[in-house]
Structure 1
Amino acid sequence: MSDARPDYEDDRNFATTLARGLSVLRAFRADDDGLTNAQIAERTGLPKSTVSRLTFTLGCLGYLTQPQRNDRYRPGPTLLAMGHVAAASLSFLDPAHDMMQALADQTGTLVLFAVRDRDKVALMRTWRPQRTSSIWLDVGHRLPIGGSSSGMAVLGSTTRDEFAGLLADHPEAPLDGGTLEDLRQEARAQLIGHGYTVVRNELRYSRNISAVSVPFRSSRLAGPVAFSCGALDDVLPDARIHAEVGPALQRTVHRLQILIGQHGTHAWSSTLND
């Protein structure tokens, strides 16, 4: 399969204005202290005049708030309420909390939960080890699909239809010049052989951080998501990933699958050519 990418933006049913408004909302990050129109324009690539109209409209509808005239925009009450509704689809994170915190404490790594956010994967929850320093990644941080173990886990567990949808969002090509289809097959082989994924050094978006990931599926989500353990290279070398942390992560995710009634169900196909 080539990296030919279906372009849904050319479909007559595609609402461009709606898509631009949603891109404005996606521009906000957890550590932002509000954003100006200029900052939103820079992050979205939209003209500042377009951003001004969109933020005004979103403000009127309660999705954004602007405490004072000409002040920075921040997520509004309507958006926050929608977030709580959306969080209901991630109900498995409640029973996962104690498991993942115990895993973080046991391995001394940052444990995280990531979902695909169009062309990248975004962190939705993190668990930091107690009494041990760890790398710091905030909720909302976005990682490249082809340059992170979380992205590899999502790639390796995608079906053909899910993969076509992923390509439609124009993710970045792997840094080694290969195709995402090649990387998908590489990730699938890792899942079949080990039950977890790692990303090769030459593909990593961050050269000094190592990570290992396991995909997960829920009947309430449309596609695969990932749980990961990450740390600086000296804390999480390859040997420790394969001897300890990768298998521990795999066992923890398997326990979660059993807890929510998915015993014996892998998040990925057992064949390379599905």
Structure 2
Amino acid sequence: MTALGRGLAVLRCFDATHPQLGTTEIAQMTKLPQPTVWRLCYTLQQLGYLVPAPDSDKLRIGMAVLGLGQYALGTADIGEMVQPELMQISKRTGAAVSMGVADQDDILIVARAQGEAALLVNMRVGSRLPMATSSAGWAYLASLPPDVRDNQLQKLKYQYKGKWATLRAAIESAAATLPASGFVLNEGFFHPDVIAVAAPAFDKQGKPQFVVTCGGLNLKLKFMKAEIGPEIARLSRKITVALAGRQA
């Protein structure tokens, strides 16, 4: 089981920012010994989950991983279902609208639409948002039972020494607003000029499965609270209904 966990840790190193990696880089990112990384990468190559990058001594994700990802989205048709609505909201705001899933200490983007406004970071499907400072992360944390949220926050606090007390208070405050409003608001914690809203969608067991978020530079606070937040909450409820196998 340890080997399985380590193999998944290797695969998680690859994302939109790191599409190609060498074994030394993977060892640094996973904090695993270099010989262990070599053995894991060899096995993952034999299974098709990693392949050699063209004209390079590095590795990249293979089709076997992409196939699993497409199946995960395709089984519920969630990615296809939400894309038109993500695009509609992005056009209305000019901002980025994403759907993501929790993965370790991040939110992994699995669907995205981008408006015409200036970008802070050029993210795409496969990019990651930090759980502790992004609205998407806050929505996920806010949707957890208090004891589970507390455990997750304990894991995150070591990454934000010196400012954790302020950050945790903001996360808890956002969590307190979720039941009434249906969304969380993050003003300036991801970046001083970014205002973002996000809402969770739940599976049949009531566990958070996806989060939907909209945010960007120089957006108006009143507009985000009064119009876009409720719109994101409505879309998340629609996803929850779809995950439950009912008609929206």
TM tier relative to shorter chain? 0.7 to 0.9
Distance 1:73 1:83 in 2: 19
Does 1:197 pair with 2:176?
no
What TM-score does the superposition give when structure 2 sets the normalisation length? 0.82
* Higher helix residue share: 2
Higher RCO (C-alpha under 8 Å, 6+ residues apart):
1
For the residue of structure 2 that corresponds to 1:112, the secondary structure is strand
How do 1:40-51 and structure 2 match up within 5 A?
Answer: 40-51=26-37
Which residue type is aligned with residue 233 of structure 2? Answer: Q
What TM-score does the superposition give when structure 1 sets the normalisation length? 0.75
Question: What residue in structure 1 maps to residue 216 of structure 2?
Answer: 231
Distance 1:210 1:252 in 2: 19
Q: Which runs of 5+ in 2 are unaligned?
A: none
Percent identity of equivalent pairs: 29
Question: What residue in structure 2 maps to residue 206 of structure 1?
Answer: 191
Structure 1 contact 89–221 (Cα < 8 Å) conserved: no
Q: Which runs of 5+ in 1 are unaligned?
A: 1-14, 264-274
Distance 2:51 2:38 in 1: 13
Distance 2:62 2:147 in 1: 35
Shift of 1:151: 0.9
Structure 1 contact 89–220 (Cα < 8 Å) conserved: no
* Higher strand residue share: 2
Change (3 A) 1:147 1:90: farther
Shift of 1:90: 4.7
Distance 2:33 2:104 in 1: 21
Distance 1:120 1:109 in 2: 21
RMSD of aligned alpha carbons: 3.0
Distance 1:140 1:172 in 2: 24
Shift of 1:51: 1.2
Question: What residue in structure 1 maps to residue 156 of structure 2?
Answer: 171
Change (3 A) 1:55 1:66: same
For the residue of structure 2 that corresponds to 1:261, the secondary structure is coil
Change (3 A) 1:224 1:58: closer
Change (3 A) 1:106 1:75: same
Tell which deviates more after alignment, 32-41 or 178-187: 178-187
Which residue type is aligned with residue 59 of structure 1? Answer: Q
